[in-house]
Amino acid sequence: MSKSYRGPIVCTIVAVAVAAAFGTAYAMRDKSASNTSITAVGSTALQPLVEAAGEEYAKDNLGTFINVQGGGTGTGLSQVSQGAVDIGNSDVFAEEKEGINAKKLVDHQVAVVGIAPLLNKKNGIKNLTTKQLTAVFTGKVTNWKEVGGNDQKIVIINRAAGSGTRATFEKWGLHGAQSIEAQEQDSSGMVRSIVATTPGAISYAAFGYIDNSVVAGSVNGIKPTKQNVVAGKYAIWSYEHVYTNGTPTKPVAQFLKYLTSKKIQSTLVPKLGYISIHDMKISRDVNGQVTKK
């Protein structure tokens, strides 16, 4: 008989021991550390910046924990408008996204990102007018020689439908025209390597991804550089937005202030390939209205 009780007794002892261990751990937990936790979800393009800034911020503000997730602009905006997270990262204005009630959301612009057309070196093209760019992406021209390049078939590589980069490029590079259906890639690094290795290829990516494996084409004769964006000459750029649901709470507001502080804007922002919000000599609203600062 004694043997058959051994199992239950051992089980009980183990259970009690585990419970006791957890109890002690709970009692001994670092009460000061888990004070505030800010969760940010959204754009994968903005994720590294907020993440890196969050780490720096946590170092200076012990007890604050910044939790940054990707998931895409759509996820970020819908989560923040439902109040499920504190911060929604977005590549586009909330007004531009269907299904979002933008009135509830407060926009905080934290950086500017410029987008350049990327071309394969064999295309023989260094400059395109907006008209030509539109003709290329809407399929009206199919060979580079028609726009002054080499005799090479045009291969279009798009970004994922609904992605911020594509929305910006179509709005400012193609005058709002829709690109024809073509192959889509959802990452900038991938787009660059495909363009670099495929003769005839054209795509677009943020300035940070430009390197000498591809040609970064000028648009209307204006080079895609930070100076041209800042001065308002080069039009294909967008803000990186951080949205909060209503006025941010105090810890969130503090973190947002840190994001736009001189320290972050002059170190992390350029390092990650963005343009600082403070350098901009112009500003642009959701309808594309440009005003001098």
**List of residues contacting another protein (CB under 8 A):** 22, 25-26, 28-30, 33-34, 37, 39, 41, 44-45, 47-48, 51-52, 55, 65-75, 77-79, 82, 84, 97-100, 155, 157-158, 160-163, 178, 181-190, 194, 197-198, 201, 208-209, 271-273
Please name which of 68, 53, 38, 67 lies closest in space to residue 261, comparing C-alpha atoms.
53
Q: How far is the CB of 20 from another protein (least distance, A)?
A: 14
Task: Go through 232-252 and write b for each residue having 16 or more CB atoms within 10 A of its CB, e for each that does not.
Answer: bebbbbbbbbbbbbeebeebb
- As a whole number of angstroms, the distance between CA 244 and CA 253 comes to 9
Q: How far is the CB of 230 from another protein (least distance, A)?
A: 21
- Cβ proximity to another protein: between 30 and 293 the closer is 30
- Cβ proximity to another protein: between 12 and 183 the closer is 183
Q: Is 47 helix (H, G, I), strand (E, B) or coil?
A: helix
Cβ proximity of 208 and 114 under 8 Å: no
Q: How far is the CB of 130 from another protein (least distance, A)?
A: 21
Q: How far is the CB of 174 from another protein (least distance, A)?
A: 14
- Cβ proximity to another protein: between 194 and 215 the closer is 194
Cα–Cα distances (Å) from 148 to 126, 129, 132, in that order, read: 10, 11, 10
- Cβ proximity to another protein: between 198 and 228 the closer is 198
- As a whole number of angstroms, the distance between CA 214 and CA 282 comes to 29
- As a whole number of angstroms, the distance between CA 267 and CA 249 comes to 26
Q: 50-58 long-range contacts, Cβ below 8 Å, gap at least 24? A: 50/87, 50/89, 50/110, 50/242, 50/259, 52/268, 52/272, 53/258, 53/259, 53/264, 53/268, 54/255, 56/264, 56/268, 57/255, 57/258
- Cβ proximity to another protein: between 55 and 285 the closer is 55
- Cβ proximity to another protein: between 8 and 293 the closer is 8
Work out the end-to-end distance of the chain between its first and last CA atoms, rounded to an integer number of angstroms.
Answer: 88
Q: How far is the CB of 196 from another protein (least distance, A)?
A: 12
Cβ proximity of 39 and 80 under 8 Å: no
- Cβ proximity to another protein: between 102 and 231 the closer is 102
Q: How far is the CB of 68 from another protein (least distance, A)?
A: 5
Q: How far is the CB of 270 from another protein (least distance, A)?
A: 11
- As a whole number of angstroms, the distance between CA 61 and CA 3 comes to 57
Q: How far is the CB of 49 from another protein (least distance, A)?
A: 9
Q: Is 32 helix (H, G, I), strand (E, B) or coil?
A: coil
Cβ proximity of 156 and 203 under 8 Å: yes
- Cβ proximity to another protein: between 65 and 232 the closer is 65
